[in-house]
Amino acid sequence: MLYNSTQNAAEKVEAAQAISQGISKDGGLFVPQEFPKYDEATFKALLKEDYRGRAKKVFSDFLTDFTDDEIADCVEKAYTEEKFGGSNPAPIAYTKLNGRPLNILELWHGPTCAFKDMALQILPHLLTKSLKKTYDGKDAVILVATSGDTGKAALEGFKDVEHTKIIVFYPVNGVSPMQKHQMNTQEGANVKVCAIKGNFDDAQTGVKKIFTTPEISEKLAENNMLFSSANSINWGRLLPQIVYYISAYCDLVNDGKIAFGDKINVVVPTGNFGNILASYYASLMGLPINKFICASNSNNVLTDFINTGVYDKNRQFYTTMSPSMDILVSSNLERLLYKLSGDSDETTRAWMNALKTEGRYEVTDEVKALMQEKFFGGFCDDGQTQATINRLFKEDNYLCDTHTAVAVNVYEQYVAKTGDTTPSIIASTASPYKFSRSVLEAVSPDGILPVNEFDMVDKLNELTGMPVPAPLANLKDKKARFSDVTEANEMPAYVLKALSID
């Protein structure tokens, strides 16, 4: 299978090249030229497999320049019971709210307690194999912009991986205390962490600029290095996310929650659009999805876009209690637009250029109609988020984090507006203990909060009885290794300094 750039369809590369490079030289994103089609027989075969077996099947259909043994090696090393606390890395919790069943796909049982582990535990294995196929002998410099969870998951996945170095940038006031402590205590000889004065969009724009600056790439080449990415702009990050939607459907069938062939809805708390895009890609392969419900917080640029066809980042930016969604430029939306425009690189490039120069673009009526046929956009604020956490805990003793609560709230809005009661998968993206202050505020009867973040974790555990994940419990006594802070426009200089390149 070949991949081309969303902004230059003439560029055609194999999977290993797309994963190694991360982003196209023209700034576009790599996308498959076609999608494998899964028929009834394929899905019935997948019903009999465990998560790892399903992953091997999906990877083999997209990574055609990898051998079966290489794919099996990646999968078996990534999705171990030790790392994910059980045989199924992505279990479904069956709960209810207002008497309505909720199928919550828990994607946070990995080593950093966030859904990014589902991709970032396997990406280092995919990348190192890709480098041997394409750039043998070079070291990869992984640049990451994070709104919280990607940073820690990438650091954990790439720590001490041979022939890689990783530098993570996060907004200094735009992540939770737990997320910040996770990143700044990261171990590993090949890792660096730096806060930037600005928001996530500033960090993301800075990383993209570094990728596409020839002078910096030339300096790396002189030192036998090349840039790559662990953000979901990298195909190796996005591909593993397709797997858990296909696997979840199989689990729903096997658990008797739906009949084979039934349609489902997918509800995703959405920031950079990669997670929900993966479910859309699964549908292109044959997964029977009726509606994609895109849930946003007060940074509701995606809600407005789905409803109007106008993407406009020229708006107030809010720092919310669901920081992984505090994003005004959703990078992976470019991949959806490419597909909805009939794989038109020219059209996609024009929209992306307009976003860079004017901060907005408007899609055609045809593309808007295609989008609205499949996607529903909704949002809620912090007050509604905490109220949802409270109701879910009181009604069924289920504790969720702030991002999952946004998804549940928007799902309720969708059902109320449409009357559609199609069984739905709700993506749960983080452990509630990663956002202990906000979750504790939502469920604490006395409203009295400890001052220390880890004391909040202990109180939340005492109040709810929900076990504290070991990776978070073990953080308490770790001392910070990093305290670097820089301006967004100084990111290129920081990268060269961190790599000891003049």
Kindly report the CA angle at 267 between 266 and 268, in degrees rounded to 5? 120
From the centroid of its chain, how far is CA 143?
A: 15
In SS3 terms, 288-329 reads as: CEEEEEEEECCCCHHHHHHHHCEEECCCCCCCCCCHHHCCCC
Give me 203's structure tokens. 């960090």
| Neighbouring-strand partners of residue 227 | 141
DSSP state string for 72-99: HHHHHHHS-HHHHTSS-SS-EEEEEETT
Contact 293, 267 (CB under 8 A): yes
Cα–Cα distances in Å, from 334 out to 27, 330, 349, 361, 471?
11, 8, 9, 12, 34
Catalytically active residues are: 116
Ordered alpha helix ranges (H), 375-435: 382-396, 402-418
- Other Cβ atoms less than 10 A from the Cβ of 14: the count is 18
Minimal CA–CA distance to 312: which of 298, 330, 297? 330
Give the whole-angstrom CA distance, residue 78 versus residue 484: 30
Using CB atoms within 10 Å of the CB of residue 394, give its burial: 0 to 12 exposed, 13 to 18 middle, 19+ buried.
exposed
Q: Give the list of residues 6+ apart from residue 22 with CB closer than 8 angstroms, or none.
A: 211, 227, 228, 229, 233, 234
Contact 30, 16 (CB under 8 A): no
Minimal CA–CA distance to 240: which of 293, 284, 279, 291? 279
- Other Cβ atoms less than 10 A from the Cβ of 453: the count is 17
The phi-psi region of residue 256 (left if phi > 0; otherwise alpha if psi is between -120 and 50; otherwise beta) is left
DSSP label of 430: B
Cα–Cα distances in Å, from 381 out to 28, 59, 174?
32, 38, 16
Helix (H, G, I), strand (E, B) or coil at 170: strand
Give the whole-angstrom CA distance, residue 413 versus residue 369: 21
